[in-house]
Chains A and B, each alone.
Chain A
């Protein structure tokens, strides 16, 4: 699989989890939802960095 589709998936997850966490904060949803969304965001950022900026 080439890097371009992976990049799109990573950025979709990064942006999606960001907005989920933001919406949870705005709507006074329980903290665990923000925490889970934050964990997904972080995993996607790390995954993106590992995949896109590794020696290939």
Chain B
């Protein structure tokens, strides 16, 4: 097995992981401190957004350190060799198990639905997202058995299909009750979620392409997952902020004070 990696590949992953740490940290600070600018009942959505990017920031920091520890520069600086410390990808799995269900939680939380509606949607979506990751990641660890990797990938697709169904069928019923200025933003956030999640299966399938070296595979998988994570977590969080701000503005226009803690109880439609 080839244990060396060229400097370009090493640096590409190094810089990608470094960018992810910076993006997640910036996202965390922005979402956390933006809470006071939106109505009381939309603040949990921004809190969950901040929680997601904070968890991801921590894990990217660990993944970054693991990448650095797993490689040692060779004389001349043109290539790197693997050290005894193997690259630990389990942090990525742990990150997804915790954050991917929460991404759907923040999307539902910002809708400001009634308690019963939001509980039903949150439970279904969070459980399906958790199952999707728990079934998909075991395949991620299989590098040399394409059939088995594809089988785990297929199993993971079943809850993913269910999430698509819920987002496009059941969520539509909620979106029609949203104000005119907010509905397009929610549809945009939903599309961004689906588009960014589309990156993951593509990166997952890279090792299944024949005649691609293990190191090139590593590069494609790490960069692919990192880009998808930045879009899915920070990008969605920004959308959530815009939705929360638009809903707050709409509530205020309707004569309510959305910054009052008891606002949701007093003005909730159901």
Seen from chain A, the residues whose Cβ lies within 8 Å of a Cβ on chain B are 18, 21-22, 24-26, 28, 31, 34-35, 38-39, 41-42, 45-46, 49-50, 53-56
Contacts and interface: CB of A to CB of B under 8 A. Distances in A.
B3 interface: no
Interface stretch (B10-18, B90-98, B193-201, B208-216): B90-98
B44 interface: yes
A26 B69 CA distance: 13
A49 B101 contact: no
A42 B91 contact: no
A42 B264 contact: no
B105 interface: yes
A21 B94 CA distance: 7
B264 A55 contact: yes
A34 B48 contact: no
B98 A21 contact: yes
Given A25-B91, A31-B137, A38 B122 contact: no
Interface in B94-116: 94, 97-98, 101-102, 105, 109, 115
Contact of A49 (B98, B109, B141): B109
Q: Taking chain B's interface residues, is the majority helix, strand, or loop, or is none over half, making it mixed? A: helix
B88 A26 contact: yes
B138 A31 contact: yes
A15 to B, nearest CB: 12
A46 B105 contact: yes
Contacts of A45: 48, 51, 102, 105
A49 B130 contact: no
Given A45-B102, A49-B44, A21 B97 contact: yes
Given A18-B98, A46-B123, A28 B105 contact: no
Contacts of B73: none
22 contacts: A18-B98, A21-B97, A21-B98, A25-B88, A25-B90, A25-B91, A25-B93, A25-B94, A26-B88, A28-B88, A31-B137, A34-B90, A34-B93, A34-B94, A38-B134, A42-B130, A45-B48, A45-B51, A45-B102, A50-B122, A53-B41, A55-B264
B98 A41 contact: yes
A50 B138 CA distance: 31
A38 B138 contact: no
Interface string B126-154: 10001000100110010000000000000
Nearest to B262: A55
Given A31-B90, A38-B97, A53-B44, 19 more contacts: A21-B94, A21-B97, A21-B98, A24-B94, A26-B88, A31-B137, A34-B90, A35-B134, A41-B98, A45-B105, A49-B105, A49-B109, A50-B115, A50-B122, A53-B41, A54-B115, A55-B115, A55-B268, A56-B265
Contact of B119 (A25, A31, A50): A50
A38 to B, nearest CB: 3
Contacts of A46: 105, 122-123, 126
> Can you list the 8 inter-chain pairs with the closest CB atoms, starting with the nearest?
A38-B97, A25-B90, A25-B94, A55-B265, A53-B44, A21-B94, A34-B94, A54-B115
